[in-house]
Amino acid sequence: MAKKQFKTESKRMLDLMINSIYTNREIFLRELISNASDAIDKLYFRSLTDDSVQLSHDDFKIDVKIDKENRLLTVSDNGIGMTEEELDKNLGTIAKSGSRQFSAENETDGSDVDIIGQFGVGFYSAFMVADRVEVVSRAFGADKAYRWQSSGADGYTITEAQKDGVGTDVILHIKANTDEANYDEFLDAYRISELIKKYSDYIRFPIKMDMEHTRKKEGSEDEYETYTENETVNSMVPLWKKPKNEITEEEYEKFYHERFHAYDKPLRVIHQKAEGTTSYQALLFIPEKADYNYYSKNYEKGLALYSSGVKIMDKCADLLPDCFSFVKGVVDSEDLSLNISRETLQQDRQLKVIAHALEKKIKKELKDMLEKDREKYELFWKAFGLQLKYALYSTIGGQRDLLEDLLLFTRASDGKLCTLKEYCDAMPDSQKYIYYAAGESVEKLNMLPQAEMVRDHGYDILFLTDDVDEFLMQILHAYGEKEFRSISGNDLGLESEEEKKEHEEKAESGKPMFEAMQKALDGKVSEVKLSSRLKTHPVCLSSKGPMSIEMEKVLAAMPNAEKAPKAERVLELNGDHPVYTALCAAFEAGDTEKLGEYAKLLYDQACLLEGLSVDDPVAFSEAVCKLMQ
Ligand code: ADP
Ligand code: MG
């Protein structure tokens, strides 16, 4: 039979496993057992609705057998099994979940071996301890069995095989000892049983092994005999069912790593036991880092759902609102009907109750982290803040109550992150609005001419640097009583009545000149006006109406940009600046040409200050030179 080749990605992974100098090779066992347990979960779930399965809960088990003489270690399950195609697909291609992520993040140059132990590396980890692996499997409903076999990177074969029952045997041909490594330990029953207890204790099906014991010979005082007994090695209590005070932080972490193929340290573990009209246990984790595909369409949110210890599904999306889609975990409830189908789950009332309770709980934990462990919360914010903002935006502010107090923004005064409440608490009495400025980076925002006057009044500014931020501000409109105001938008409310009056008079007298300038700018701005937000700078751009210049930039970068609405630009002039005097002089002298040139120059400058490019750099450069001659 012709050898088949592994897919490129799988081959890389396999090479890493075969050549691994990683000392913690023992984790292969937990991977094989976890696969066996998954396969049993699938068949058991099926048995609930399909009489032809003919197995009940107590029939399911995982057998681990050792054949020292032939150096074989076998992990068998009576789970769902694999067809010929599935053997090819599942073992020839790197698996979807854990291993792929591992591979995506780690170019396999051998330097990242440390990470192996923390990560669910999947089936291929068997090649860390075996030089040949056979998988004999018979799928549920199939009458033929197949043997998948491989000695590593040069490919694999699949041939027909004999197997009585449904399920899978994974047979490892354990490597011979080398100078550096001792593989014999994986043929030692005691050692293997230890490893099962260490990594797979909570697996909910019995893991059985033949264990040797000694006892006194019957009728004899000093003669001993050995006998073997087939024993269940694991305690079978899932971690989430154990009382909190019996679980160490390491155990939680180990579970998180193994179960979710994660390798970061969770920022928070939420272990909740709820009793009442709907009772459930939840074990949730808030990761420290976003999955590599978290902000892509491929990311699948959801919590594993169990009903009385039976896995119903791996990722129940309805249990998590989008804003908390980063949470990983398990929910187990006795109150869910086992006959529930994945389709009717969505309408299930109990499930909705649980989802609602979890949402509240997650918020509470995040709030608690924000208040008591700011450093951690800021790590969380770095990884998932954007998601909270997107979620809030896409529900048109519908999750305001849930999320607004979890938001953080950089404030201008010290460059630190602050909540909206912290911002408001620090506001002087005279401050009417929450000021913000939107732009590419904090550095650039710091230099905005518009910021100076606001800061001068002792008012802080929130710097918004994510694309979604300003859209979000418009949707939220206000926090408590305080409205949000862009420092580039309409009235900033900075002037006293007297200043306002003075300003109005000056603006009125400048009108003819402003109109002449606007004409010279030929449709580029919808207004030229006297500014009340400038201090030392001669000009700035602002916008009228709901669209800001920043929003225009964001929309312009999206597909279908031609149809995107544009901001109505306003050129604002500083009436106290010498440039303004020069403008007035040109206007009064009737020098329309000069006034027009100045208007264009100032407009270009204002664009540059806004981080926009000038329309005609050559003309701009010539105009500057002309000034000097
Ligand atoms: P993962 O478990 O993350 O999917 P693995 O590399 O551990 O990745 O396994 C790859 C795939 O092979 C599994 O998703 C499953 O479909 C299949 N598989 C592995 N072991 C078994 C088994 N004992 N019974 C049935 N299918 C299995
Ligand atoms: Mg696996």
Sequential DSSP letters for 130-142: EEEEEEEEE-TT-
Specify the residue with its C-alpha closest to ligand 1, atom 12: 90
How confident is the model over 167-186, as a mean pLDDT? 94
pTM above 0.85, yes or no: no
The CATH code that applies to domain 8-232 is: 3.30.565.10
Give the sheet arrangement for strand 478-479, strand by strand: 417-418, 409-411, 461-464, 433-438, 482-486, 478-479
* Residue 77 near ligand 1, beta carbon < 6 Å: yes
Which residue ranges make up each domain of the chain? 8-232, 239-378, 408-486, 497-628
Could you tell me which of 239, 171, 174, 228 has the C-alpha nearest to residue 200?
Answer: 239
Distances, alpha carbon 297 to alpha carbons 66, 100, 293, 394, 476, in Å: 44, 16, 8, 15, 26
Asked if residue 180 has pLDDT above 50, the reply is: yes
Specify the residue with its C-alpha closest to ligand 1, atom 19: 35
Per the prediction, the chain carries an average pLDDT of 89
Distances, alpha carbon 401 to alpha carbons 203, 220, 359, 408, in Å: 39, 77, 12, 15
Cα of 90 from ligand 1 centre, angstroms = 6
- Nearest ligand to the C-alpha of residue 98? 1
Ligand 1 closest atom vs CA 98: 3
* Residue 39 near ligand 1, beta carbon < 6 Å: yes
How confident is the model over 536-558, as a mean pLDDT? 89
Banded pLDDT at 443 (limits 50, 70, 90): confident
Specify the residue with its C-alpha closest to ligand 1, atom 13: 90
- Residue, of 215 and 167, whose pLDDT is higher: 167
Specify the residue with its C-alpha closest to ligand 1, atom 5: 122
Cα of 286 from ligand 2 centre, angstroms = 22
What is the CATH T-level fold of the domain 239-378, as seen in this structure?
Answer: Ribosomal Protein S5; domain 2 (3.30.230)
Asked if residue 549 has pLDDT above 80, the reply is: yes
pLDDT above 90 as % of the chain: 63
Banded pLDDT at 201 (limits 50, 70, 90): confident
Mutate to test the pocket of ligand 1, among 29, 35, 136, 314 (most ligand atoms within 8 A of CB): 35
Specify the residue with its C-alpha closest to ligand 1, atom 17: 90
Could you tell me which of 199, 178, 232, 211 has the C-alpha nearest to residue 62?
Answer: 232
Identical fold, 8-232 and 497-628: no
How confident is the model over 402-410, as a mean pLDDT? 96
- Per mean pLDDT, which range of 332-346, 573-587, 590-604 is the poorest? 332-346
Cα of 157 from ligand 1 centre, angstroms = 17
pLDDT the model gives residue 108: 46
* Residue 90 near ligand 1, beta carbon < 6 Å: yes
* Residue 95 near ligand 1, beta carbon < 6 Å: yes
* Residue 26 near ligand 1, beta carbon < 6 Å: no
pLDDT the model gives residue 11: 79
At residue 356, the 3 state secondary structure works out as helix
Asked if residue 435 has pLDDT above 80, the reply is: yes
pLDDT the model gives residue 573: 96
pLDDT the model gives residue 94: 62
Could you tell me which of 598, 583, 571, 601 has the C-alpha nearest to residue 510?
Answer: 583
Which residues have a beta carbon within 5 Å of ligand 2, which is an ion? 35, 122
CATH class of 408-486: alpha beta
How far is Cα 157 from Cα 92, in angstroms, rounded to an integer? 10
Cα of 35 from ligand 1 centre, angstroms = 5
- Nearest ligand to the C-alpha of residue 139? 1
The residue type of 545 is G
The residue type of 71 is R
How confident is the model over 584-606, as a mean pLDDT? 94
How far is Cα 594 from Cα 517, in angstroms, rounded to an integer? 10
Asked if residue 447 has pLDDT above 70, the reply is: yes
Banded pLDDT at 120 (limits 50, 70, 90): low
* Residue 167 near ligand 1, beta carbon < 6 Å: no
Give the tokens for residue 515: 């109109």
Number of CB atoms found within 10 A of residue 370's CB? 18
Asked if residue 93 has pLDDT above 90, the reply is: no
How confident is the model over 94-105, as a mean pLDDT? 52
Asked if residue 494 has pLDDT above 80, the reply is: yes
Asked if residue 219 has pLDDT above 50, the reply is: yes
How confident is the model over 49-68, as a mean pLDDT? 92
Asked if residue 21 has pLDDT above 70, the reply is: no
How confident is the model over 476-494, as a mean pLDDT? 90
- Residue, of 11 and 170, whose pLDDT is higher: 170
* Cβ atoms of 137 and 146 closer than 8 Å: yes
- Per mean pLDDT, which range of 118-132, 572-586, 605-619 is the poorest? 118-132
pLDDT the model gives residue 343: 63
Asked if residue 296 has pLDDT above 70, the reply is: yes
* Residue 79 near ligand 1, beta carbon < 6 Å: yes
How confident is the model over 159-174, as a mean pLDDT? 97
Kind and range of the H or E element at 309?
none
pLDDT the model gives residue 509: 93
pLDDT the model gives residue 320: 95
How confident is the model over 461-477, as a mean pLDDT? 94
pLDDT the model gives residue 25: 85
Q: Tell me phi and psi for residue 14, to 5 degrees.
A: -65, -45
* Residue 514 near ligand 1, beta carbon < 6 Å: no
- The architecture that CATH gives domain 497-628 is Up-down Bundle (1.20)
* Residue 125 near ligand 1, beta carbon < 6 Å: no
